[in-house]
Structure 1
Amino acid sequence: MSHLIVFAHPHEESFNHAILDAAVGALKGKGQEVVVRDLYKLGFNPVLSSGDTAAMRAGNTPEDIKTEQDYVRQAETISFIYPIWWTGLPAVIKGYVDRVFSYGFAYAYNAQGAIDKLLTGKRGLLVSTYGTPEEYYRASGMLESLKQTSDQGIFDFCGIQPVDHLLFGGVTSVDDAARKAMLKQVETSFSSL
C-alpha cells in the first residue's frame, strides 16, 4: 500500500517533526510504502501563478506540479501533517493544495454543472497542531471549522475519503507526558490504516 505524507513545518526539532517520525514508523512497521514530501525541504513554491494556470489550460502542467500530482495519483492514502497558523493551513501547504489539487486533476465540472471528484478511491488523514489551548478551540467551534475546511473542503471535495483528523492543542504549553500521549495516538491512527 502506498502512503503519501505531505509535511509542512520549517523546523526539524518541532513537535510536528516528531509526529512525522511517529507516523512514518507506524506505517513502515505495518509494511507500507511511505513517501514523504517535506515542502520546506523541497523549497516548494506555493504561489499559483497566471503562468501555471495558462500552462495547465494548454495541457502543459509545470514540472514541479506534475511531479507532485504523480505522487498523489500513485498514493492510496494521503496524509497532511502541519501546524495551524492563524486558524488555517500554513501558506506552503495551502499553496500545495492550490497548485497540485488543480482543476482537471483533482476535480472538474461535468456537463450538468456538478462536481466530478477525480481522486475518488483514496483515503485521507490529517494531523494538525496548534498552540492555543484545546478548550478554547473546542468552545469557540474552531475545531469543527478546521475539520470542515480541510476534511470536507479539500479532501472530500476531490473524492478523498477523510478517515481521521487528529487535532492537538496547546502543544507549546503541555508537558512531555501529554506530548507522548499525542504521539501514541498518531502511532495508533496510522497503524490502523
Structure 2
Amino acid sequence: MAPPAVHHTIVLAHPDQDSFCASVARCWLERAQKHHQTGTVLDLYAEGFDPILKANERPGKPDYAPPPEILAECDRLARTDVLVLVYPMWFGSMPAMLKGYLERVLGNAARYVGDEPHERPLNGTRLVQISTSSTSSAWLAEKGVESAMHTLFDRYLSDVLGAERAYRLALDNIVDGMSADRGAMELEKVRQTADRICADANAARWAQAQSR
C-alpha cells in the first residue's frame, strides 16, 4: 500500500504578487505536483499575516495563549514534509514579514508539539530556503551576508527546530527588467532543486513506510 504523498508548504514573503519570488513559489508547486506530491502556497502579504509577536504568544510565560490562527499554522507545519521559504534579501536579511512568521509560528510550534527533541516542530521535515538578491553572490559573500544567513537561518533553524535537512538556493542579480531568457534560466535552477528534493523526500517516505 502506497504511503501518503509528500506535502510541501511554500511560504512566500514578497509584497508584489507579480514578483520573481512569486514565480519561484509557483514553479516549486508545479514541480512538486509533477512528482505526484501535494503542496500549498502561503502568501504572507496577500493573506494579511500579522508579523508582530504578541506578549501572550511567548512560550513559557504565565499568560501564554496563542490565538487560533497561529495554532492553525502550527497544525499546517505538523502536516508538512517540505517547508520552502521564498523571499528577497533586503538589507542583508529576510523581510520582517518572514521573520515575524518564524517568531509567531515556528516559535509557537516548538511549544505546541512539546519540549522533547523528537517532538521538535520540523522533525523529519526538509527545510528549503530560496532567496533572491539584486546584487551578486560575490558581493554578499564579501559583506559577510552569505555566511551570516547560513549560520542564523540554515544551521540555527534546522538544528533548533529539528529539520531533517536544510537546503539553500541563492538567486542573485535578480532585477526589474531582466530578460525572459535570464528569468527562465534562474527558474530552471529552482526546478532542478525541487526535483532533487522531491526525489529525496519521496525516497525517505517509502523507506519509512517499508520499515514499519
- Per-residue deviation at 1:180? 1.6
- Per-residue deviation at 1:67? 1.1
Question: 1:118-167 deviations in whole A, cap 9, x for unaligned?
Answer: 13211111100111222211333322221221111223320113342001
Residue among 33, 36, 41 paired with 1:31: 36
TM-score for both structures, normalised by structure 2: 0.80
Aligned to 1:104: 111
Greater fraction strand:
1
- Work out whether residues 130 and 168 of structure 2, in 8 Å CA contact, stay in contact via their aligned partners in 1: yes
Aligned mates of 1:5, 1:51 — CA distance in 2? 27
Unaligned runs of 5+ in 2: 1-5, 198-212
Aligned to 2:184: 180
Are residues 1:88 and 2:93 paired? yes
Aligned mates of 1:135, 1:54 — CA distance in 2? 39
Aligned mates of 1:57, 1:122 — CA distance in 2? 30
Where does 1:19-98 land on structure 2 (aligned, <5 Å)? 19-53=24-58, 60-98=65-103
Unaligned runs of 5+ in 1: none
TM-score for both structures, normalised by structure 1: 0.87
Mark the CA change 1:136 to 1:43 in structure 2 (over 3 Å): closer, same or farther: same
Aligned mates of 2:60, 2:156 — CA distance in 1? 25
| Equivalent position amino acid for 1:5 in 2 | I
Name the SS of the counterpart of 2:87 in structure 1: strand
Aligned mates of 1:52, 1:146 — CA distance in 2? 26
What is the identity percentage for the equivalent residue pairs of Structure 1 and Structure 2? 23
Q: Which runs of 4+ in 1 moved over 4 A?
A: 54-59
Question: 1:31-78 deviations in whole A, cap 9, x for unaligned?
Answer: 111011111111011000113237985564311111110110111111
Q: CA RMSD in A?
A: 2.3
Q: How many residues get paired?
A: 188
Residue among 160, 174, 193 paired with 1:157: 160
